[in-house]
Amino acid sequence: MKYVDEYRSPESIGRLLALIGRRSRNPVRLMEFCGGHTHAIFRFGLRQLLPPTVSLLAGPGCPVCVTSQPDLDRAIALSRVRGITLTTFGDMLRVPGSTGTLQEARAEGADVRVVYSTLDALSIARDNADREIVFLAVGFETTAPSVAAAVLTAEDEGLKNFSILSLHKLTPPAMRAILDAGEVALSGILGPGHVTTIVGSDAWDFLSREYGMPCAVAGFEPLDILMGVYALVDGIESGSSEVVNAYRRNVRREGNLQARQAIDRVFCVRATEWRGLGTLPASGLFLRDAFCGFDAASRFPVRVEPAEEPKGCLCGDVLRGRAQPPDCPLFGRTCSPQHPIGPCMVSGEGACAAHIRYREG
Amino acid sequence: MCLAVPTKVVRIVEDEAEAEIGGLFRRISVAFTPEARVGDYVLIHAGFAISVLDENSARESLGLLEEMEAGLGAQKETGS
Amino acid sequence: MFSDTILLAHGSGGRMTHDLIGEVFHRHLGNSLLAAQDDAAVWVLSSPGPERIALTTDSYVVSPIFFPGGDIGRLAVCGTVNDLAMVGATPLYLTAGFILEEGLPRADLERVVASMAAAGRQAGVKIVAGDTKVVERGGADLMFITTAGVGEVPKGVCISGANVQPGDVAILSGPVGVHGLAVMSRREGLEFSFPLQSDCAPLNGLVSEMLKAGGPIHCLRDPTRGGLATTLNEIAGQSRVEIEIDEVCIPVSEEVRAACEMLGLDPLYVANEGKLVAFVAPDAERPVLEAMRRQRYGQQAAVIGRVTCAHPGRVVMKTLFGAHRILDMLTGEQLPRIC
């Protein structure tokens, strides 16, 4: 596959690892913000291969993991409403809410359907005029544009049976929260390559300006990730705290303007609750009033009991980088991929799931 | 986040396109990449193209390794 | 009375049931044992008598019932034949029980049964007993098929998941991940044009040649639900050995890799319906591999790993870059993801 295989060449990886080994003198701790990076790092065994001076820490960039318990419960409650078809990305299906998972709701008769794209959800809405199609909109800035596009298309076509439950969140506030909390000593941040494709590398300038924190925006192939690591190590060793774009083939300074405009047109920004990080100001996307006809939360109000995090679950700490998955008392014992207690174990990119699935042999 | 793959645009009709990867074809939206042309590679996330791959940058980044190795070698020589 | 959809009356046991059985099942599957129309098929054992008899059962509920490269009927015949072949048995006779949903187009039923007949002929087995029930609309997803299969195990053949030994070589018959993706590509909400057909195929011919090649074959298994990784875990558990595989050696086609990249799936966990993994003694590696590569369904056979006694029950994979990671069983269903 073009633009994939070249970035997985064992020979190039070997050479880059050697370069990192030679450049890295002082121990550094880098946070890979994005769950996709955590997943790829584990899948390719990169942690094992990096020199001992470089340690990597998973951050809160897993949109499934940071969905709050009440929000998850709301989604599950919606799926149980008669006449509603809940469409969702596969990632959300097995996350445990207070009363079960979407998968369990489906087994009990709820109409829950996995889709790959909002385009598919729109098709389902067109083909099932007698049902209300609700799309569970989870994701960061990479996904929000596609949901905005779906809402605009629905409006254009006069689709009356399509709505979204918007649980979208923005990445920079989460980064600020981690740094402001000062709970973890970080040397640098591996920036989310695909979020940045949308928001633009300029969006991370604040890390350098306000926190003196180096950031390298990296793609997700092994070569991309290691290029990002090298850029961080190199920067740290030279005392620089610049934002480096190590994913130039897809990331520009201004990002994707059409996508950003679509988000702006359809969504407004308000405070929202993040699992593990609490309520962060200006961190969530909500539909603007003009699009209230597509807002599932107001069209189908459901009662949700106040929820508590499961006892002993350290997902919050893991998301903040305060704890590693093995530190959680439930890890690998009561909480496993077969019986997940917290979202970090269920989500494909959750740190706990990655730790267990890809553990070293 | 987030899963995105580079695919080749084979056909465009307004905002929709057909893209190919490894012999597989899928209908996608190019609403956010109006500059995409047939033959371009675009990055697809959840059925939407979010970027047109810059082939020059790609070539550059793959060629960087030699530069970096030479640079590090030079650094060692100058003791910096 | 000819109806172009299946009605509840077709399952009542009366005239309509008889007519359906004659017009569809007997017409396509016709053989003397089935034609006897007794409550059970009776046959004489081969002479000299078989040392052991193998018996298996399976249910098929795949949706959609027609997918690129196959259908639920072909799947049922091949799946059952393969279960028998995986213990070294020569498959002989199958049964097929049908649960049909009211409203199923008759033409679809015909198509499935004709496909079963063709698969049976390809595998050299006969379907000698059957049953048909019809349930109300919504009671079955168009069609469910349950089978049983009987075969004879030749003398000296001792193949089991518990027989794998340290030192054994693991051989995979061909590229993995095709069937699961072929089915998924037709699922509503996920449609994509997958250029490959399901690999659904009867493997008894391949196994027979492998057995003739000589050299102890300790275990055979077809990696169906849960994929190759799950199957390897089952065997490692049964035999209490560690299996080490090399990612670079596992055959995966470009199309499968592309689909998995796009959907966020791992080919090692995607179902196969025409592949097997064999564990053979080191001396048998060459002859068995060569025998496989001469066969239609083993042309791309490859050694994918070895068995050790390091950590019993564990499956470890050496990745592309030389790191080692543990390969677990599949938990739940593998779902497409965007994160």
Q: Indicate if C192 and C125 belong to the same structural domain.
A: no
The whole-number pLDDT of residue C49 equals 74
Q: Which residue has the tokens 């959300």?
A: A92
Which value, in Å, is the radius of gyration of the alpha carbons in chain B?
18
Q: CB count, 10 Å around CB of C266?
A: 17
Write the DSSP symbol of residue C5. Answer: B
CATH number at residue C75: 3.30.1330.10
Q: Indicate if C125 and C187 belong to the same structural domain.
A: no
Report the residue of chain B nearest C252, measured CA to CA.
B22
Residue of A199, A64, A68 whose CA lies nearest to A139 = A64
Q: Which residue has the tokens 């560690």?
A: C242
The C-alpha angle A229, A235, A240, rounded to 5 degrees, equals: 150
Residue of C275, A150, C324, A297 whose CA lies nearest to B15 = A150
With pLDDT > 90 as the criterion, what percentage of chain C qualifies?
69
Q: Which residue has the tokens 């950590």?
A: C311
Domain-embedded: residue C338: no
Burial of C322 (0-12, 13-18, 19+ CB in 10 A): middle
The whole-number pLDDT of residue A88 equals 95
Of residues B4, B8, B21, nearest to A194 (C-beta): B4
Q: What is the mean pLDDT of residues C48-75?
A: 91
Q: Indicate if C285 and C141 belong to the same structural domain.
A: no
Which of C102, C123, C153 delimits the end of a domain? C153
Q: Indicate the pLDDT class of residue C46, thresholds 50, 70 and 90.
A: confident
> Is residue C163 classed as helix, strand or coil in its secondary structure?
coil
Residues in chain A: 361
State the Cα–Cα distance between residues A32 and A41, nearest whole angstrom: 9
Burial of C216 (0-12, 13-18, 19+ CB in 10 A): middle
Residue from A3, A111, A358 to probe the interface with C (highest C Cβ count within 10 Å): A358
Q: Indicate the pLDDT class of residue C1, thresholds 50, 70 and 90.
A: low
Q: Which residues of A touch B22 (CB under 8 A)?
A: 1
State the Cα–Cα distance between residues A131 and A119, nearest whole angstrom: 17
Residue of B72, B60, B58 whose CA lies nearest to A234 = B72
Residue of C197, C156, C187 whose CA lies nearest to C69 = C197
Which of C153, C182, C197 delimits the end of a domain? C153
Residue of C301, C288, C318, C86 whose CA lies nearest to C175 = C301
Cβ of A143 and B57 within 8 Å?
A: no
Note the pLDDT tens digit of each residue in A92-110: 998 888 888 999 999 999 9
Residue C2 has pLDDT above 90, yes or no: no
Q: Indicate if C318 and C173 belong to the same structural domain.
A: yes
> Is residue B20 classed as helix, strand or coil in its secondary structure?
strand
Using an 8 Å Cβ cutoff, are C175 and C198 in contact? no
Number of domains chain C is built from: 2
C188 part of contact set with chain A, CB < 8 Å: yes
Per-residue 3-state assignment (H helix, E strand, C coil) for chain A: CCCCHHHHCHHHHHHHHHHHHHHCCCCEEEEEEEHHHHHHHHHCCHHHHCCCCEEEEEEEECCCCCECHHHHHHHHHHHCCCCEEEEECHHHCCCCECCECHHHHHHCCCEEEECCCHHHHHHHHHHCCCCEEEEEECCCCCCHHHHHHHHHHHHHHCCCCEEEEECCECHHHHHHHHHHHCCCCCCEEEEEHHHHHHHCHHHHHHHHHHHCCCEEEECCCHHHHHHHHHHHHHHHHCCCCCEEECCCCCCCCCCCHHHHHHHHHHEEEEEEEECCCEEEEEEEEEECHHHHHHEHHHHCCCCCCCCCCCCCCCHHHHHCCCCCHHHCCCECCCECCCCCCCHHHHCCCCHHHHHHHCCEC
Residue B77 has pLDDT above 60, yes or no: no
Tokens of A329: 């008392």
Per-residue 3-state assignment (H helix, E strand, C coil) for A128-142: CCCCEEEEEECCCCC
Type and span of the H or E element at C19: helix C15-20
Q: Indicate if C198 and C117 belong to the same structural domain.
A: no
Which of C83-92, C179-188, C329-338 shows the lowest per-residue confidence on average (mean pLDDT)?
Answer: C329-338
Tokens of C257: 């890799």
Q: Indicate if C265 and C132 belong to the same structural domain.
A: no
Q: What sign does the CA torsion over C8, C11, C17, C20 have? A: positive
Chain C touching partners, 3 or more CB pairs below 8 A: A, B
Tokens of A235: 């920067």
The whole-number pLDDT of residue A210 equals 96
Residue A335 has pLDDT above 80, yes or no: yes
User: Which domains can be identified in chain B, with CATH numbers?
Assistant: 5-78 (2.30.30.140)
* More confident of the two residues A85 and A323: A85
State the Cα–Cα distance between residues C304 and C31, nearest whole angstrom: 42
C332 vs chain B: nearest CA distance in angstroms?
A: 21
Start-to-end Cα distance in chain A: 29
Cβ of C339 and A62 within 8 Å?
A: yes
The C-alpha angle A334, A336, A341, rounded to 5 degrees, equals: 65
Which of C153, C180, C206 delimits the end of a domain? C153
Report the residue of chain A nearest C318, measured CA to CA.
A361
State the Cα–Cα distance between residues A80 and A171, nearest whole angstrom: 31
Note the pLDDT tens digit of each residue in C270-318: 999 999 999 999 999 999 999 999 999 999 999 999 999 999 999 999 9
Domain-embedded: residue C339: no
Q: What is the mean pLDDT of residues C44-71?
A: 88
Q: What is the mean pLDDT of residues C47-63?
A: 88
Q: Which residues of C touch B25 (CB under 8 A)?
A: 192-193
State the Cα–Cα distance between residues C273 and C275, nearest whole angstrom: 6
The whole-number pLDDT of residue A112 equals 96
Please state whether the peptide bond connecting residue C64 to the residue before it is cis, i.e. omega within 30 degrees of 0: yes
B78 vs chain C: nearest CA distance in angstroms?
A: 33
Note the pLDDT tens digit of each residue in C219-268: 999 999 999 999 999 999 999 999 999 999 999 999 999 999 988 899 99
CATH number at residue C290: 3.90.650.10
* More confident of the two residues C120 and A90: C120
**Bridge partners for C211 per DSSP:** none
B9 vs chain A: nearest CA distance in angstroms?
A: 13
Of residues C254, C264, C332, nearest to A94 (C-beta): C332
Using an 8 Å Cβ cutoff, are A57 and A186 in contact? yes
Using an 8 Å Cβ cutoff, are C311 and C266 in contact? no
B11 part of contact set with chain C, CB < 8 Å: no
The C-alpha angle C156, C159, C161, rounded to 5 degrees, equals: 155
- ipTM for the complex shown: 0.92
Q: Indicate the pLDDT class of residue B80, thresholds 50, 70 and 90.
A: very low
Q: Indicate if C234 and C284 belong to the same structural domain.
A: yes
Quick one: residue C125, left, alpha or beta (phi over 0 = left, psi -120 to 50 = alpha)? Answer: beta
B21 vs chain A: nearest CA distance in angstroms?
A: 7
Using an 8 Å Cβ cutoff, are A12 and A200 in contact? no
Which residues 10-69 on chain B approach chain A with CB closer than 8 angstroms? 21-22, 27-29, 31-34, 41, 43, 45-48, 50-51, 53-55, 57-58, 60-62, 64-65, 68-69
* More confident of the two residues A361 and A264: A264
Output the CA torsion C65→C66→C72→C77 (10° steps).
180
Tokens of C294: 């001469």
Chain A touching partners, 3 or more CB pairs below 8 A: B, C
Using an 8 Å Cβ cutoff, are B35 and B66 in contact? no
C96 vs chain A: nearest CA distance in angstroms?
A: 28
* More confident of the two residues C159 and C34: C159
Residue of C278, C304, C305 whose CA lies nearest to C291 = C278
Note the pLDDT tens digit of each residue in A158-203: 999 999 999 999 999 999 999 999 888 999 999 999 999 999 999 9
State the Cα–Cα distance between residues A111 and A79, nearest whole angstrom: 7
The whole-number pLDDT of residue C188 equals 64
Q: Indicate the pLDDT class of residue C45, thresholds 50, 70 and 90.
A: confident
Domain-embedded: residue C2: no
Q: What is the mean pLDDT of residues A117-141?
A: 96
Q: Indicate if C185 and C61 belong to the same structural domain.
A: no
Output the CA torsion A102→A103→A107→A110 (10° steps).
30
Number of domains chain A is built from: 1
Cβ of C339 and A35 within 8 Å?
A: yes
Q: Which residues of A148-158 are buried (b: 16+ CB within 10 A; e: fewer)?
A: bbbbbbbeeee
Cβ of C258 and B25 within 8 Å?
A: no
> Is residue C131 classed as helix, strand or coil in its secondary structure?
strand
* More confident of the two residues A333 and C240: C240
Using an 8 Å Cβ cutoff, are A108 and A127 in contact? no
Which value, in Å, is the radius of gyration of the alpha carbons in chain C?
21
> Is residue B27 classed as helix, strand or coil in its secondary structure?
strand
Chain B touching partners, 3 or more CB pairs below 8 A: A, C
Q: pTM (2 decimals)?
A: 0.90
Type of residue found at C266: D
DSSP string, C185-221: TTSTTT--B--SPP-----HHHHHHHHHT-S-EEEEE
State the Cα–Cα distance between residues C323 and A48, nearest whole angstrom: 7
Output the CA torsion A49→A53→A54→A60 (10° steps).
130
Q: Indicate if C125 and C211 belong to the same structural domain.
A: no
Cβ of C258 and B44 within 8 Å?
A: no
Q: Indicate if C113 and C186 belong to the same structural domain.
A: no
Domain-embedded: residue C164: no
Mean pLDDT of chain A: 93
Residue of C247, C88, C337, C100 whose CA lies nearest to A114 = C337
> Is residue C50 classed as helix, strand or coil in its secondary structure?
coil
Tokens of C50: 């078989």
Which residues 28-47 on chain B approach chain C with CB closer than 8 angstroms? 44-46
Using an 8 Å Cβ cutoff, are A193 and A217 in contact? yes
Note the pLDDT tens digit of each residue in B9-53: 999 999 999 999 988 888 999 999 999 999 999 999 999 999 999
With pLDDT > 90 as the criterion, what percentage of chain A qualifies?
73
Q: Which residues of A touch B50 (CB under 8 A)?
A: 142, 145, 194, 197-198, 250, 256, 259
What domain range is C243 assigned to? 169-326
Residue A361 has pLDDT above 70, yes or no: no
CATH number at residue A279: 3.40.50.11740
Cβ of C322 and A139 within 8 Å?
A: no
Q: Indicate if C16 and C141 belong to the same structural domain.
A: yes
Start-to-end Cα distance in chain C: 55
Residue C27, CB half-sphere, CA atoms under 13 Å: how many? 14
State the Cα–Cα distance between residues A42 and A62, nearest whole angstrom: 15
The whole-number pLDDT of residue A77 equals 96
Residue of C18, C15, C20 whose CA lies nearest to C4 = C20
